Structure 1
Amino acid sequence: MSGLVRALQKGWAPVCGAISNVYLRAIVALAVCIAIGYAAGFSFQDRAGTHAKIHAIVAGVLALLVFVADTEVRRKVANIIDRINMVIGHIMAWTALILVLNVFLVVVLRYVFSIGEVWMQESYIWMHAFIFMLGAGYTLLHNGHVRIDLIYAGASKRYRDVVNLLGTICFGFPVLWLIYWRGFDFFQRSYSRMEASAEVGGLPYLFVLKAVIPAMAILLGLQLISLSLRAIDRMITGETVGLVSEDEEVMA
């Protein structure tokens, strides 16, 4: 790994010298990786969509190599992703409060005043979906997902970094790609019909609710990228640099 990193750093050094701003450097790196990935992908076009898979794999590998070669870019990209999910997580925390108040109001109106509104009952189902789906990336940021901790919890940081990196590449990304692919098709069909609630007086624009499926895959996938970049950073530098502590509780 160290030999590969040194070779990449030598090739990446002229670009770093020409572009001092780390954000511009990251954008240029990603743009080049995506362009090369598309070029490679479209040389393998077929009906099964192999070109899309090829350019995604090539772009991802190239981007990962660039991040490995540049510590500053690697940490900046991870920080940006973490901040995105932190903001969304805080919004979902307030949404949880609104959800509780909404359920309380629905119960009081229904059982005390005999008033029932379908759209109010559906709204807390929507909010429940938003909290759990859109908050998945924030939960991963705070290490709040369920793990099998018999081996992982007591292991060294290097071992955990390797597990996180391999788990992300071998299991995380393939599953999220499947969720995004199927979820986006689910959302697109709903949007094309401008689908609304099947109940009279229910909420319109049901496709908004279905859009949280691909959105969850994107946000959780971004957080897995951040997790991988920080694991790589620790393996290379031996330093632990992050926006949050590993021991910080979810929604704290």
Structure 2
Amino acid sequence: MDEVEVVVAHRQRATLRVGDVFLKVDGDPAHADVEVRAMALAPVPTPAILWHEPPVLAIAAVPGRALGLLGEPSAASPEAWAAAGAAIRRLHDAPLPPWPGRRLDDVAAELDGECAWLLANAVLPAEVIHRNREIAGAALRPWKPVFIHGDLQITHVFVDGDRVTGVIDWSEAAPGDAMFDLAIVTLGHEERLDDLLAGYGTDVDRDVIRAWWSLRSLVASRWLIEHGFDPDAPGCEFDVLRSRMREP
């Protein structure tokens, strides 16, 4: 009998693995609904849906391994990163999903609120927070919406050799800023941005990608702390924020 592996678990959701089946349990059924709809629309490899009985979504494992892990150097080849970039480009060129994305005003309000919390709780030096808030401002501009994954962490892209075999965890998919997806997949792996863009294309705004590195790290930190994760682990969000202090 296959053992049950807890992949991730916190107050909002849990993911279990039993053999080649992943069971995603989410307290908000809307997340699974978006995931199912997004995977049906996305022009990139996605996991097979085995069954869906709220609050549980069962999906098949995808072959290969994750592009990398946050906090560790990526062992994937430059060609694998380029293949990931090409897959992301296909997604961004696809028709928009028929549900709304986040509004710019909401993103800005969340950023200000999270920066206030970080300052009030002194989890980072104030100058690190203020500098990254300044950098993050470049992301707060109108964008042309594209079909984005919305949570394109490096662990959500699977490759086998130089081929993308699957992109997982689509519950945040929506119309949004293309630069956001490019920033999230390279968060903590900034040195692989050129490899990614070799497949995606160079018609991007690198300053906005850098801004999203800061913005994402600022707004995610409190959630990570409150759900038992450590943004201060080597190579993770706090290191990303500190690294911005070394830039001109």
Instruction: Give TM-score, length-normalised by structure 1.
Output: 0.29
Larger radius of gyration: 1
